[in-house]
Amino acid sequence: MARLFLIIAAISGFFAVVIGAFAAHGLKQILAPEMLEVVKTGVQYQMYHALALLLVALWLTQKSAPSGLKAAGLAFILGTLMFSGSLYTLALGAPRWLGPITPLGGLCFLVGWLLLTIAAWRTRSAD
């Protein structure tokens, strides 16, 4: 699972940069400024959680990796798809009924961070 998370983290980070650059240059003439801000928010959260997923993946390679890490990684992936994905599609004119998906993605992010906190709490210190 660590390898899969590393791959997904790298791909997610890559696309965060691609989407951010495309929005800043290619969509600047097409989208209203408030919609560009929506895309920017999606890109920021995607990158934050690509890095969080990278952390989870690297932690999973340790022998003493606590339980809950895989669930945290899955929550970050699902959160990125739902939160950032819905923001991107809404900014590009998707139907407004997709709007309620965004906070569900945010909830997935919160669950992922909570699971990461619990995993850290359960980790034995080498001190």
List, for residues 63-116, the tens digit of each pLDDT value: 888 888 999 999 999 999 999 999 999 999 888 888 899 999 999 999 999 999
CA dist 42 and 96 (Å) reads: 16
Rg, the chain, Cα only: 16
pLDDT tens-place string over residues 23-37: 989 888 888 889 999
- Nearest-10 Cα torsion for 33, 35, 38, 39: -90
**Per-residue pLDDT, 46:** 98
* Structure confidence at residue 126 (pLDDT): 52
Examine the pLDDT at 127 and tell me if it is beyond 80. no
Q: Which amino acid is at 66?
A: P
